[in-house]
Amino acid sequence: MNTVLLSRPVEPEKNFDVESNTGNLVYRSAVHKQIPHSEMFDWSEFNEIKNSKADLFVVPLANTFREGYELSDEFVDNWIKAIDGRPLIGIGMGTGGAEVGQIMNPSANVLRWTRSFSAIWTRGRITTEALSRFDIPSTPGTCPSLFETGKPPIYRGFNRIGVSNACGNMKSRKVEEFFIQRSCGTVFVQGNRETLDLYKDGKLTEIAQRTLAAGFDPARLKGFFDLEKWSRELKKHDLLIGPRFHCASLAFASGVPSVVIPIDVRTQELCQSFGMPALPWNDLDDFQKRISFDPDAFERNRRFLFRRYKAFLHTAGISVSTSSRFDR
């Protein structure tokens, strides 16, 4: 079975585009490792996709099934022609929204594009339920980065705390300011290249200044387009906390205890399916005493989801490359 991956190579220093979130590097890297493939093409390389010898295509997805995400008529027409009826497998599709239960009304083109997939592995039950409202079948899963982590880290002794920074809405700003004032570690800026450029070389622009607590040392701000460098910096901490899920996921994989403060549906869904400890954004007092993590429950959930992931891919004709230790 000749599998072609529709995804940019993970060479962030060379080709990471302005519109992408650096958190995408974490899940894209996981999919690249887990799915044996012969070639990779960008979504818009329609001629290469159409002329490829692919028996099937695998697409790492993100928060694409939502209002506000748009695809043109031309893109969807070219996409369907390029795929040319061959199986198309989506990995990691998510939905959006400020609150759980909010009804998603994706555009007609997003619906048409989503229906071009033969099978979809979602980020969790919230997305699967959103898809089901439009009679689109899917398998509820989680972020594939779950299967790249080792033994769960030990949650104790939080002396040096790192903070994930989203530079986003009022909820995220309140969360970030709360923890920035209480930590002495690095503030990890997760966003697109444009966002990270706001903090370049520790020089804050006016926009960046408005997102941070007064008196903050800008030298503590760091953003990464390289996962190995990002991981090395995370390992200097006893805890990573904040609203960014994929920064927490990478910290977890690096052996650093992590806690996410969900500020929207997508982070809430990922925490639930992944088994990541979470705290409510509007009630953070005495947070260290309230962090709860059961490593045994986490392992049971991970093994269960890995078996489901493996069966999902097997049905599509794909053998997952991740360690078989989750089968035991």
Residue-averaged pLDDT of the chain: 86
Percent of the chain with pLDDT over 70: 83
- In this prediction, residues 56-71 reach a mean pLDDT of 91
Instruction: From 233, 212, 219, 228, select the one nearest 165 (Cα to Cα).
Output: 212
How far does the chain reach from its first CA to its final CA, in angstroms?
27
147 burial type by CB count under 10 A (0-12 exposed, 13-18 middle, 19+ buried): buried
Residue range 247-300, pLDDT digits in tens? 999 999 999 999 999 988 889 999 999 999 999 988 888 898 899 999 999 999
pLDDT at 80 (0 to 100): 97
74-83, 242-251, 285-294, 317-326 — which is least confidently predicted?
317-326
Residue range 94-143, pLDDT digits in tens? 987 656 566 678 999 999 999 999 999 999 999 999 999 999 999 999 99
Percent of the chain with pLDDT over 90: 55
Residue range 22-48, pLDDT digits in tens? 888 888 889 999 999 999 999 999 999
SS3 call for 90: strand
Distance CA(73)–CA(278), nearest Å, equals 39
Residue range 168-226, pLDDT digits in tens? 666 777 787 788 777 778 888 887 766 666 666 555 555 556 556 556 677 788 888 88
Alpha-carbon distances, residue 192 vs 17, 170, 246 (angstroms): 8, 19, 13
Kindly list the structural domains of the chain, giving each domain's residue range(s) and its CATH number in brackets, ordered by start: 3-147+303-327 (no CATH), 151-292 (3.40.50)
| pLDDT grade for 79, boundaries at 50, 70 and 90 | very high
Contact of 156 with 137, CB cutoff 8 Å: no
Q: Does residue 215 or residue 235 have the better pLDDT?
A: 235
